[in-house]
Amino acid sequence: MYQNHKITMKISIFGIVLLRSAVMLSLDFVREDEESPAAKFKQHIIEVMNSNGCTNMMNDRGITDYNGKCKLKNTFIRAPIRTVRDICVTGGQK
């Protein structure tokens, strides 16, 4: 009886280690493909853009939705990065 319990514990520990390894490997693959939230946000900041700039920028950058199709709309912020940073950090208050 004691011997069976010992084997069951070893199998359980092995299963946990195997599962943990699989999770860690899958997280590494996700990290390679994803950008940081800051980098993702910074893509939307454009200092100078004319009235057709949004459409042109989306075409130039190949901005698509999660299915790979052209997005119908996107948001760009027309401002210097320093202005955006100040607003995000201080709420625009000096």
Give which of 48, 33, 36, 39 is closest to 79, Cα–Cα: 48
The dihedral over CA atoms of 55, 57, 63, 69, expressed in degrees to the nearest 10, equals 30
**Six token digits for residue 36:** 């940081």
Half-sphere exposure of 67 (CA within 13 A, CB side): 4
Residue 49 is classified by DSSP as: -
pLDDT at residue 7 tops 70: no
Which pLDDT belongs to residue 19? Answer: 59
pTM for the complete prediction? 0.49
Give the pLDDT confidence of 21-66 residue by residue, as tens digits: 555 555 545 454 567 887 888 888 888 888 778 888 888 888 888 8
Give yes or no for residue 86 having a pLDDT over 80: yes
Task: Assess whether pLDDT exceeds 80 at residue 1.
Answer: no
